[in-house]
Amino acid sequence: MLTVAYQGESGAFSEQAGRAYFGARARLVPMESFKDVFEFATGHPSGFGVVPLENSVFGSVHQNYDLLLKHKLHIVGEVKLRIQLHLMAMPGVPMKAIRSIYSHPQALGQCEDFLRLQKNVSAVAYYDTAGAAKMVREEGRKNAAAIASARAAATYGLSILRRNIESNHRNYTRFIVLSRKSRRLDKAGKISLVFAVKDVAGALFKALAVFALRDINMLKIESRPHVGKPWEYLFYLDIEGSPAEERVLQALNHLDELTTFVRVLGAYPNGKTLI
Which one from 13, 48, 58, 175 is the annotated catalytic residue? 175
Which one from 22, 38, 40, 173 is the annotated catalytic residue? 173
> Rounded to 5 degrees, what angle do the CA atoms 72, 75, 80 make?
145
- Alpha-carbon distance of 186 to 272, in angstroms, equals 18
Contact yes or no for 262/252 (Cβ under 8 A): yes
- Alpha-carbon distance of 132 to 82, in angstroms, equals 20
CB atoms within 10 A of CB 183: 15
15 closest CA partner among 180, 105, 164, 129: 129
Q: Catalytic site residue 173?
A: yes
Residues sharing a CB contact under 8 Å with residue 229, sequence separation 6 or more, in sequence order: none
Q: Catalytic site residue 155?
A: no
Mapped onto helix, strand or coil, the DSSP state of residue 75 is strand
Contact yes or no for 167/85 (Cβ under 8 A): no
- Alpha-carbon distance of 270 to 34, in angstroms, equals 23
Residues sharing a CB contact under 8 Å with residue 231, sequence separation 6 or more, in sequence order: none
Catalytic residue numbers, as ranges? 173, 175
